[in-house]
Amino acid sequence: MNRLPILALLLACAPGVHALDWGVNLAELPVMVTGEQSLAYSASEVHLWLTAPLSGMAFRLETVGTWAASTADLTVANQNLNSQITLDVEELSLAGHGVWNGGEGGAFDWSLGRRQVTDLTGGWIVDSRWDGAAVTAHAGQTKLALGAGYSGLLLNANSRVDGSPADLADQSNTSLLLAPKRLLGYLGVGVNEAFFRQDLQLELLGDYDFRDADEAVHGAYATAAFSGPLPGGLSERLYTTGAVRRSSTEWTLGLLSGAEVGVDVGFLGFRAVLSAVAAWAQGTYGFQPVSGDSVSDVISLPTAHAASVKLDGSIRPWTGFVAGVRADSLWRTSTDLPPLAGILPGATDSWLGTEAGVYGSWEPTSDVSLGWSGGVFFPQFGAFASTTQVTALSAISLTVKL
């Protein structure tokens, strides 16, 4: 028997329920990549969401059904077409807010269930959904955050957990239903406007791998971050993370650091951001996040031994519209080979190449949104073979909210 109508009925009957709100979002996401590795990919998604305020708390459920098809052969129609249908629970959460001494002593927010977790660096260490609980307490200028989550109930097909070589191997194993089993915990403290109007935040994050001892890789990360306004309409963000990873055979140390300076100009909502991030680590696999991002937009370059310097400029001339251009210089921080097609095994050049691209989004009405992103990666022939092709990526997303 389908449990969803029963859940909705229970929520509707529960005391304190004001209302149920629901909706269906339809999304179409075609992506095309050409170059050393070609790919045509298209995903059609149906999101069903439901929210219900429950006696001062907020309940939210979002399920997603995806039909995705891809092919690496762009010259012959429907050849080697891989398709996959997935049904997933994107979010299932209960959240609330409380105060001490009528709000004078402080306040706290809590959440329970499946939700997105992003670490203090903005996603270089953790950027994934987890099943767990989190509490954030505020008192005056200080903030304390505590949370724990588990990844083993996420769907493997949609998982971004890649904290070890075994996790990465699981990601491409379509016979696995559930994601790698990891327990994540974090403790964070923050002081708003600690000095010179700069916010200071510290975070300790640990992950425990439930694999057998010979495959398990556990990790701990300590991050410090500063952010705040600068004179002249500028703003800045600095962060650095020290990492310790432990496998059955070795301990490895790693470091990831990043900086960002932004400026907002009133004219057409123009914003420019200059940012840089770099990672170093001992061992072959380099800096390993729990579920991190690529430092590049067109090619997939993990943080392992990578660095990037990016300049981004965007305009927001009216509400619901943003368009931008970006240029990105990609580097490596060791002589280990990044997993990129065409790279020269004996090359010592640190500079890998340059990316340039455009992006934007437009929400003309409350129910339609359009997003676009396109870019080109130009390999640097000191690091890549001279026959390496330029890689181009274009992606569009169209969403209709019913």
Q: Is the Cβ of residue 20 or residue 89 nearer to other proteins in the bound state?
A: 20
- Residue 231 and residue 229: Cα distance in Å, rounded? 7
When asked if residue 19 is in the footprint of other proteins (CB under 8 A), the reply is yes
- Residue 177 and residue 156: Cα distance in Å, rounded? 5
- Residue 297 and residue 356: Cα distance in Å, rounded? 9
115, containing H or E segment: strand 106-118
| DSSP secondary structure letter of residue 302 | B
386 CB contacts (<8 Å, ≥6 apart)? none
When asked if residue 56 is in the footprint of other proteins (CB under 8 A), the reply is no
Span interacting with other proteins, options 197-205, 282-290, 360-368, 380-388, rule CB under 8 A:
360-368
CB of 7 to other proteins, least distance (A): 18
The identity of residue 397, as a single letter, is: S
Q: Is the Cβ of residue 53 or residue 206 nearer to other proteins in the bound state?
A: 53
Q: Is the Cβ of residue 253 or residue 368 nearer to other proteins in the bound state?
A: 368
When asked if residue 91 is in the footprint of other proteins (CB under 8 A), the reply is no
* Number of residues counted as binding other proteins (CB under 8 A): 15
CB of 19 to other proteins, least distance (A): 3
- Residue 168 and residue 163: Cα distance in Å, rounded? 7
Span interacting with other proteins, options 75-83, 237-245, 345-353, 358-366, rule CB under 8 A:
358-366
When asked if residue 28 is in the footprint of other proteins (CB under 8 A), the reply is no
- Residue 108 and residue 136: Cα distance in Å, rounded? 5
Phi/psi at 33 (5° precision): -125, 130
When asked if residue 172 is in the footprint of other proteins (CB under 8 A), the reply is no
Full DSSP string of 158-211: G----SSHHHHHHHT-TT--B---EEEEEEEEEEEEEETTEEEEEEEEEEEE-S
309-328 positions binding other proteins, by CB under 8 A: 319-320
When asked if residue 363 is in the footprint of other proteins (CB under 8 A), the reply is yes
Span interacting with other proteins, options 13-21, 192-200, 305-313, 346-354, rule CB under 8 A:
13-21
When asked if residue 386 is in the footprint of other proteins (CB under 8 A), the reply is no
When asked if residue 18 is in the footprint of other proteins (CB under 8 A), the reply is yes
When asked if residue 96 is in the footprint of other proteins (CB under 8 A), the reply is no
Span interacting with other proteins, options 32-40, 133-141, 291-299, 364-372, rule CB under 8 A:
364-372
Span interacting with other proteins, options 113-121, 247-255, 365-373, 380-388, rule CB under 8 A:
365-373
- Residue 104 and residue 109: Cα distance in Å, rounded? 15
Cβ–Cβ under 8 Å, residues 325 and 311? no
Assign 103 to helix, strand or coil: helix
When asked if residue 53 is in the footprint of other proteins (CB under 8 A), the reply is yes
CB-side neighbour CA atoms (13 Å) of 297: 24
Span interacting with other proteins, options 16-24, 152-160, 169-177, 253-261, rule CB under 8 A:
16-24
When asked if residue 366 is in the footprint of other proteins (CB under 8 A), the reply is yes
When asked if residue 266 is in the footprint of other proteins (CB under 8 A), the reply is no
Nearest C-alpha neighbor of 358 from the set 313, 401, 302, 388: 313
CB of 213 to other proteins, least distance (A): 46
Binding-site ranges for other proteins (CB under 8 A): 18-21, 53, 319-320, 363, 365-368, 400-402
